[in-house]
Chain A
Amino acid sequence: MSEAVMNLRSRGGRRATSWILAAIGLAIIIVAPLIGLYPVFLMKLMCFALFACAFNLMLGYVGLLSFGHAAFFGMGAYVAGHAVKVWGVTTVLGIFGGAVVAGIMGLVFGAIAIRQKGIYFAMITLALAQMVYFFCLQAPFTHGEDGIQGIPRGTILGLVDLRNSLAMYYFVAAIFLAGFLVVYRTIHSPFGQTLKGIRENEARMVSLGYPVARFKVLAFTISATLTGLAGATKAIVFQTATLTDVHWHMSGEVVLMTLIGGMGTIFGPVVGAGIIITLQNYLATMGSWVTVVMGTIFVICVLTFRRGVVGEILARLK
């Protein structure tokens, strides 16, 4: 009896903590550009944070490591860029289109790869993504090595001019928050509980009659859609979509963000993206040492710090 009360209380407490954390986060997002932080940097950070959250949905909650998420990220960017620049659709519609195309790709990739596990799944997604990379290298609409350049930022419904970097910032912030909320809701829904069940003991879920493969494909599609959303937004922010976004290094980068932040935690990927993007920004003066430092962090994380920053904090709090 008293145990149940304790449980309730602690659950209530945890909920309150989450609310406080959320409020602090929101305040930071609103204030950040006003206190002199470089908006382009913040927007980049949010795009990658969303990317990492979407990726974490697969790695942290389904337990499948995809090494091909760059395909969704890059394709989202290309589709949004092409739609806005060449077809002249509105910015919002362009970004939406990028996300949808990435989602459809996710469905196809998922259908091919989902029956595999562990290393097999990682390698198959990697190879499929490489296929997309070579497609983007050759396809006329991506402009190969040149990339799509000079993508107009446009307006929101003709009302807000996104060339203003503060307006653009709050637009990106809104997309990030919406995406983050989708991830949060997915994890805390019965669907998310089922996913965790699959991660812990797949055989049991199968015997309980769950259509496990279908669940996984659905999760993969959600993850791909949100990744496409992040990529499409990045294309509008930087006004370019290039091969960098589809290259497998990008897939590796998002794994690193998730790993260092803490996989399977809600805020971990955001923290991870923050660390990596900041690092890239400050180490930028050091040439290729960026790659070396990222590699070193990777190795250290894998050898000694597998829970990541947020995971480690949560473990200490318990």
Chain B
Amino acid sequence: MRLTKLALATTALVGLATGAAQAEISDGVIKIGVLNDRSGLYADLSGEGSVVAARMAVEDFGGDLQVEILSADHQNKPDVGSSIARQWIDQDGVDLIIDVPTSSVALAVQQVTSDTDTAFISSGAATTALTNDQCAPTFVHWTYDTYALSVGTGKAVVEQGGDSWFFLTADYAFGHQLEADTKRVVEENGGQVVGQVRHPLSTTDFSSFLLQAQSSGAKVIGLANAGGDTTNAIKQANSFGIVQGGQQLAALLGFITDVHALGLDVAQGLTLTTGFYWDRTDESREFSERFGERMNGQMPTMVHAGVYSAVAHYLKAAAEIDDDGGKAVVDQMKTVPVNDFFAENGEIRADGRMIHDMYLVQVKTPEESEKPWDYYNILATIPAAEAFQPLEQSTCSLVTN
């Protein structure tokens, strides 16, 4: 239970004396809890950056609301995450929990927030279970999910001729789901899966797993993991001469911070699926540069951008209905399309999935890269309707009933 309570009462409101207008908002303040990994393998892709993004969204909102931001480290442990969430809600009166990478933790938090009518928007978690079997009326899945990743990268790699796969999978909810989704896409597109090996979360030595992947003879080694696990696996695959041996690595989930950590020498040519690239439009550049100023020049990952977009949309909805009940705000959010630098005509469906365009990108070669963080060529835009699981396939009780 480690709540880094930034006693940072970011007050959006400059004017005073608006108490009367906020009769419906409990204790007159909207409290947002940013819950993510602040010290582990997902700290770069979420961590402090998500707190900064949330703070920026609150400042930019500037409306008639008083907003406070808390943050905590869930250490990628479901028990730690759920007990922080519980304590935030019971004792601190938190109204919105945001980010929560690490699918296992997100699923645990989902239990708590749906029991207590607290809004929960996940930007960092990937598993589609959050909008299927374990969906909730208080939940929105904002940035990406395992389905979108498999549709993007999985399909692209098979079309390039990578038709036999071996999976190196992180052994928890996220990895299992990503592996299953990608397997389906590979098979639908005429490829085959020859095997898989599961590795523990936060593995430092991939040598024996890579050896198994190598001896499988598959053309593609699909990395169904994320963050530090992905970068470690790629680095070690390099030192064991796997790519030189003729096998291709497919990072099913890669963030721009991973590319940065690997360096373009190693990462060049990787095909990735992302919900956001900072250098795509003027609006995204404008946001990213402001973000970079506060983060020592680091550009935002799709998770950071998603946190900003989600908090902004949440605040608008809460102000509109003047309420901070979880289901009430989420219902209101579902009625309004999302239009900002992150999503064009984004829509929150009944199952809680926010659908928006995704992008298939390829990592540039060192020669192509002209400036810091100039890492991606956008190969294709995957339209929202194709990127995400069709609503009729959802097993979410909010849809099936």
Contacts and interface: CB of A to CB of B under 8 A. Distances in A.
A contacts B directly (C-beta below 8 A): yes
B22 to A, nearest CB: 26
Given A285-B4, A287-B73, A146 B172 contact: yes
A135 interface: no
Contacts of B173: 145-146
B269 interface: no
Nearest to B172: A145
A149 B82 contact: yes
B294 interface: no
A240 B200 CA distance: 20
B83 interface: yes
A185 to B, nearest CB: 33
Nearest to B111: A150
A238 B4 contact: no
Contacts of A284: 1-3
A175 interface: no
A146 B83 contact: no
A149 B78 contact: yes
Contact of B2 (A145, A150, A243, A290): A290
Pick the most buried of A145, A243, A288: most chain B CB atoms within 10 A of its CB. Answer: A145
B78 A238 contact: no
A149 B80 CA distance: 12
Interface string B97-110: 00000011001100
Contact of B111 (A145, A149, A281, A285): A149
Interface residues of A, number: 24
Given A144-B172, A244-B80, A285 B3 contact: yes
B87 A285 contact: no
B77 interface: yes
B107 A149 contact: yes
What's the dominant secondary structure at chain A's contact region?
A: helix
B86 interface: yes
B117 to A, nearest CB: 14
Interface in A113-151: 137, 144-147, 149-150
Interface in A85-131: none
B200 A145 contact: yes
Nearest to B91: A38
A280 interface: yes
B293 interface: no
Interface of B: 1-5, 38-39, 73, 77-80, 82-83, 86-87, 90-91, 103-104, 107-108, 111, 171-173, 200-201
Given A147-B104, A239-B82, 5 more contacts: A38-B87, A146-B172, A146-B173, A147-B108, A240-B79
30 contacts: A38-B90, A38-B91, A40-B86, A40-B87, A40-B90, A137-B200, A145-B104, A145-B171, A145-B173, A145-B200, A145-B201, A146-B104, A146-B172, A146-B173, A147-B78, A149-B104, A149-B107, A149-B111, A150-B108, A238-B82, A238-B83, A239-B82, A239-B111, A243-B77, A244-B77, A280-B1, A284-B3, A286-B2, A287-B38, A287-B39
